[in-house]
Chains A and B, each alone.
Chain A
Amino acid sequence: MAIADLANPTRFLKFANRTIPWLGGLTVLVFAYGIDQAMLAPDDYQQGATVKIMFLHVPSAWLGMLGWGVMSVAALGTLVWRHPLADVAAKAAAPIGAAFTLLCLVTGSLWGRPEWGTYWVWDARLTSELVLLLLYLGVIALWRTVEDPSRAARAAAILTLVGAIDLPIIKFSVDWWNTLHQGSSVFRVSGSTIDSSILLPLFIMAAAFTLLFFTLHLAAMRNEILRRRVRTLRLMQASAAS
């Protein structure tokens, strides 16, 4: 099946029905291996055992941003190419991205209390992450407010593209401003500052979370296509009755 064939919702449903069980199974396997490696990883020489929170916090932060990235590409698909599945993809990604952003904030607070002595501080990284969560909630509210899916899609796409400006702010906030949050330590030009004994489990957990994201996204897209079919059929039924 060619990628272009997936633009057809019926073909996409067949693809999703075949792919979701395999992707789900692979997600479980990678999670099992990742959690095992995370539990076996040594304590950090400064942070001690609390470094284990990093194996949840960092992938959640990446996926919160990935979710908005997926929505931004889909927003272009809606506004520029009017791709039939673009707004389905955007709508399906929003709750998943919001959940991971919330998880990032919660685990960050739980990590911050023992390390910084506080659950929350209004520094640039934490605040820009909170803004991302609020943007997610705004887009979800917009989808729920406008009844016509195509009108809601255009409005949500514009908000998504405007909100995408928050992504580089989150990424570079620790470089642009003096923050309590630590600077970049994984992806740096001069190489990661994290020891490989901790970095490897982090990458495995990130792979597991990413697989989970795409499994859930595919399932949520399938649900959204079915929801639109239900809506179309009910409209047909109502117009036939009148």
Chain B
Amino acid sequence: MNAANHMGFIVASYAAAVVAVSVLIAWVTLDYRAQRRKLADLDMRGVARRSAPARPERAIEQAKEEA
């Protein structure tokens, strides 16, 4: 069987695999950044989970207000 005749199918298969893996890696990476950005934005606005550790600057502001 002539390999040269079928090289296009082999190259296309490996190209498809590269595209599929690249899309998956880009998806998880960009999604992670987006979620971190949203959480940071909410944190900046003072919205935090009850179990989340208090930010030092927020604790200082709170202490100043109490004083």
Interface residues of A (CB under 8 A from B): 10, 43, 46-50, 52-53, 56-57, 60, 95-96, 99-100, 102-103, 106-107, 110-111, 113-114, 212, 216, 219-220, 222-223, 226-227, 229-230, 232-234, 236-237
Contact = CB atoms under 8 A, between A and B. Distances in A.
Given A48-B2, A48-B3, A233-B42, A56 B35 contact: no
Given A57-B13, A110-B12, A222 B2 contact: no
User: What is the predominant secondary structure among interface residues of chain B facing chain A?
Assistant: helix
A227 B37 CA distance: 11
Contacts of A52: 10, 13
Interface string B4-41: 01110110111011001101110111011001101100
A114 B42 contact: no
B20 A103 contact: yes
A95 B27 CA distance: 10
Residue among B17, B47, B48 with max Cβ neighbours from chain A (10 Å) = B17
A219 B42 contact: no
B49 interface: yes
A60 B12 CA distance: 15
A60 B45 CA distance: 44
A50 B9 CA distance: 8
B13 A107 contact: yes
Given A96-B24, A230-B42, A103 B17 contact: yes
12 contacts: A43-B3, A47-B1, A50-B1, A53-B9, A56-B16, A56-B17, A103-B17, A114-B6, A114-B9, A222-B32, A229-B49, A233-B48
Contacts of B28: 216, 219-220, 223
Give the interface SS of chain A, mostly helix, strand, loop or mixed: helix
A128 to B, nearest CB: 21
B56 to A, nearest CB: 20
Nearest to A54: B13
Contact of B35 (A106, A216, A223): A223
A43 to B, nearest CB: 7
Nearest to B46: A237
A230 B35 contact: yes
A56 B24 contact: no
A62 B53 CA distance: 43
A234 B45 CA distance: 11
Given A47-B1, A53-B10, A219-B32, A99 B47 contact: no
Contacts of A100: 20
Contact of A50 (B10, B38, B42, B45): B10
B19 to A, nearest CB: 9
Q: Which of A95, A107, A220 has the most CB of B within 10 A?
A: A107
Contacts of A103: 16-17, 20
B42 A226 contact: no
